[in-house]
Structure 1
Amino acid sequence: MFSKWKSKKEEKHTGHTIEIMAPISGEAVSLTEVPDETFAGGHMGSGIAIRPSEGILKAPFDGTVAHIVKSSHAVILEHSSGVQLLLHIGIDTVSLKGNGFVSHISSGDQVKAGQTLIEFDLDVIRAAGCDTISPVIVTSTEETPPQVNGHYGQVTAGQDLVLTVASK
């Protein structure tokens, strides 16, 4: 009888899809290829990883810098939908204490798709014995996490689709 009326709770869960472009140029691969169980096992969330061909991290969508790690090796971006994306450059790169990383952003900044967020030196990362593979993770604190589909292969930052996120 009142089916045409939706409660606020029902409206909130009507769902939407977000397309996330590559934040780094290189080869998009499965998270299972990351040599760190926290990422490979999906403990941080669902996503993909990129084997970088160049040291530039770009914004994959218009959003807000929710948090940037002090050593500039990781950043969390928030989409206007509330979806948060963890962009983590390399594995065990926290040990570099910022060496080889140049951040162009601060927490709270508004960013535009394609904007350079962080520049990083692949040679410095490799010389320190760290893997350059970079996880791109949809983090979720929701009771029903979004459905995340990865797209693999060679990608160019800001041009190629790497993740499709459908919230419920």
Structure 2
Amino acid sequence: MIWKWKKNKPTEEAEVISIASPLTGACVSLEEVPDEAFAQGAMGPGAAMIPQEGRLVAPIDGKVVHLIKSHHAVMLEHASGLQLLLHIGINTVSLKGQGFTPQVQTGDQVTVGQTLIEFDLSAITSAGYPVITPVIIANTAEQQWQAHPNYGNAEAGLGTIMKVSLPK
């Protein structure tokens, strides 16, 4: 679908990409993330998810361009060039991969709903880390992607938590 966003109202002419829910849970504002870099948008625009289960799925069709060594985060790239960072929890890099089981590797092609990483919610919370998961547009410096979040409950791989547009 091609749209142009003008003062948050679509008119025809710009590309809009729908971002499916990467988790089952609630989609909330980045401002709710207890990490200043994410909450203030320094990492890029987007939304965050509060997961109810430990399964992260692909919210777009694309390529795994980077699976973080500790398996707590992954970056995907859509055919349009849009890059999404999916970061499970806050400061979970400190777990050094414990509680995270990747189901993909860098270079893999993925489709919406495909499992990317399984993770142990209780192990993360027991270790004292928040499980809130930022979903960030990672390459806004190269292209002026705009995020239009859709807050509320969603099921992994279904629904739309955000529409992303690239004005032409």
> Hey, what does 2:120 align to over in structure 1?
121
> Hey, what does 1:57 align to over in structure 2?
56
Secondary structure of the equivalent of 2:14?
A: coil
Q: Deviation string for 1:37-72 (max 9, x for gaps)?
A: 010010010011011000000011110001010010
**Cα distance in structure 2, aligned partners of 1:151 and 1:61:** 16
The structure in which a higher percent of residues are strand is 2
**Cα distance in structure 1, aligned partners of 2:142 and 2:124:** 36
**Cα distance in structure 1, aligned partners of 2:82 and 2:134:** 16
User: Which ranges of structure 2 fall in alignment gaps of 5 or more residues?
Assistant: 1-12
- Return the offset for 1:160: 1.2
Given the alignment of the two structures, is residue 37 of structure 1 paired with residue 36 of structure 2, yes or no?
Answer: yes
Secondary structure of the equivalent of 1:114?
A: coil
TM-score by length of 1: 0.89
**Paired residue type of 1:65:** V
**Cα distance in structure 1, aligned partners of 2:30 and 2:111:** 26
RMSD (CA atoms): 1.1
Secondary structure of the equivalent of 1:16?
A: strand
- Return the offset for 1:146: 1.2
- Return the offset for 1:139: 1.3
**Paired residue type of 2:36:** E
Aligned residues: 155
> Hey, what does 1:85 align to over in structure 2?
84
User: Which ranges of structure 1 fall in alignment gaps of 5 or more residues?
Assistant: 1-13
Structure with greater Cα Rg: 1
> Hey, what does 2:19 align to over in structure 1?
20
- Return the offset for 1:142: 3.8
> Hey, what does 1:11 align to over in structure 2?
none
Given the alignment of the two structures, is residue 147 of structure 1 paired with residue 146 of structure 2, yes or no?
Answer: yes
Structure 1 stretches of 4+ with a deviation exceeding 6 A read none
